[in-house]
Amino acid sequence: MSTEEPATAHADEYRTEHLRDALAHDPATAELDVKVTLAGGRIVLTGHAATEAHRQAISDIARRVAPDLDVVNQMDLAEFGDGGEPESLA
Amino acid sequence: MIRVAAVGDLHMGKDGAGLLRPHLRDLSAYADVLLLAGDLTRCGDPEEASVLVDELGDVRVPIVAVLGNHDYHAGREDDLRGVLTAAGVQVLEGEAVTLSVEGTTLGIAGVKGFGGGFAGACGSDFGEREMKMFIGHTREVATRLEAALRRVQGAARIALLHYSPVVETLQGERLEIYPFLGSYLLAEAIDSAGADLVLHGHAHHGHEKGITPGGVHVRNVAQPVIQRAYRVYCFDKTNATSL
């Protein structure tokens, strides 16, 4: 990187990790498993959330950490159901 | 026939009431035991464990669990274990339990496990003290697992972990994080002592099915992988007793 290149050249990468770090350490989320993509001035969140409240908490922290960016939360809610077809192990 | 229901990575939060209970109500019709493969809670808060215990309230089969990394986050793993134990959940860490199931016996040895990586791309207990502690912890856990498997009695024997012993069940995860998802030392311990099945969680983007180098079935039952409240695995009693 030349000395003239702005220090923000890799800022997106750092901001993404800062957000992931906040999502892991904030007790409201304690979430290590959110994929964070920063593109076109938006933060896009993908992965699975256990509940709607949890998904909302993740969005709230993203907005707090990056108030200048739009937050698009595309996380899926966890699906539960019965055990389905059992697997026989020989 | 021994029927084992299993799930990991429930990550139960204080907002999780009602999430699981409806799906577990009839579990005893499909399974003889329920195994929980760690990350039972979101932050390791005993209040979250209390929510989980309520969700398990209708389960009428024995429940055996190991803790996961999330369950250690608050540094209150002993309190968390206390909440679970008081509710009748057997929590294993280097321990083993034998259950009577359908006229036969099922042995379960459990440890959390830890990371370190896999053959050709793993850490060594070399250099800085911190690195020695990291890999040293994995070696210690693997040793405890092997000892527990060797002493557990059962026509069928299961190793219950949170971290993965093999790479097959990690496929779908980024290669860069494999060393944080499991260790070959766990597989080596299992193959040395013998088992019929390994259950683990932790790798949310991984794959359900794998096998150890010694030929033991491995199943990643992380809830985001199985996309159900639990999965059921069956052992034919004849096969299981042939160990």
Closest CA to B198 of A83, A80, A89, A82: A89
For B90-138, write each residue's pLDDT tens digit.
Answer: 999 999 999 999 889 999 999 999 999 999 999 999 999 999 999 999 9
Q: Are B37 and B6 in contact (CB under 8 A)?
A: yes
Which DSSP symbol is given to B30?
T
Tell me if chain A has a CB within 8 Å of the CB of B237. Answer: no
Q: What is the ipTM of this complex?
A: 0.88
Using pLDDT thresholds of 50, 70 and 90, give the confidence band for residue A80. confident
Helical residues (DSSP H) of chain A, grouped into ranges: 11-25, 52-65
Chain A CB contacts of B210 under 8 Å are none
What is the identity of the amino acid at B94? G
Q: Give the pLDDT confidence score for residue A7 in this predicted structure.
A: 58
Helix axes B129-151, B184-193, angle to 10 degrees: 20
Q: Residue A8: left if φ>0, alpha if ψ -120 to 50, beta else—which one?
A: alpha
Q: What is the DSSP string of B142-182?
A: HHHHHHHHHH---SEEEEE-SSBSSSGGGBTB-GGGGGGTB
Number of Cβ within a 10 Å radius of residue B7:
26
Q: Is the pLDDT of residue B45 over 60?
A: yes
Domains and CATH numbers, chain B: 2-235 (3.60.21.10)
Q: Are B73 and B82 in contact (CB under 8 A)?
A: no
Q: Give the pLDDT confidence score for residue A10 in this predicted structure.
A: 63
Number of Cβ within a 10 Å radius of residue B240:
22
Residues B121, B19: Cα–Cα separation, whole Å: 39
Using pLDDT thresholds of 50, 70 and 90, give the confidence band for residue B161. very high
Q: B49: Cβ–Cβ under 8 A, 6 or more apart, which residues?
A: B12, B40, B41, B80, B83, B84
- Interval B27-38 mean pLDDT: 97
Tell me if chain A has a CB within 8 Å of the CB of B229. Answer: yes
Q: Give the pLDDT confidence score for residue B241 in this predicted structure.
A: 40
Token pair listed for A11: 């800022």
Residues B53, B56: Cα–Cα separation, whole Å: 5
Q: Give the pLDDT confidence score for residue A11 in this predicted structure.
A: 84
Locus of tokens 């020989």: A90
For A11-67, write each residue's pLDDT tens digit.
Answer: 888 999 999 999 999 999 999 989 999 988 899 999 989 899 999 999 999 999 999
Q: Are A62 and A31 in contact (CB under 8 A)?
A: no
Residues B160, B91: Cα–Cα separation, whole Å: 11
Q: B92: Cβ–Cβ under 8 A, 6 or more apart, which residues?
A: B64, B65, B66, B108, B109, B110, B111, B148, B160
Nearest Cβ partner for B43 among A30, A80, A84: A30
Tell me if chain B has a CB within 8 Å of the CB of A56. Answer: no
| R_g (Cα) of chain A, nearest Å | 17
Q: What are phi and psi of B201, to 5 degrees?
A: -130, -135
The alpha carbon of residue B80 is apart from the nearest alpha carbon of chain A, in Å, by: 16
The alpha carbon of residue B72 is apart from the nearest alpha carbon of chain A, in Å, by: 12
Nearest Cβ partner for B229 among A48, A80, A90: A80
Do B204 and A53 count as a contact with CB atoms less than 8 A apart?
A: no
Residues B85, B90: Cα–Cα separation, whole Å: 6
Do B233 and A81 count as a contact with CB atoms less than 8 A apart?
A: no
- Burial of B99 per CB tally in 10 Å (0-12, 13-18, 19+): middle
Do B43 and A27 count as a contact with CB atoms less than 8 A apart?
A: yes
Locus of tokens 């985001």: B224
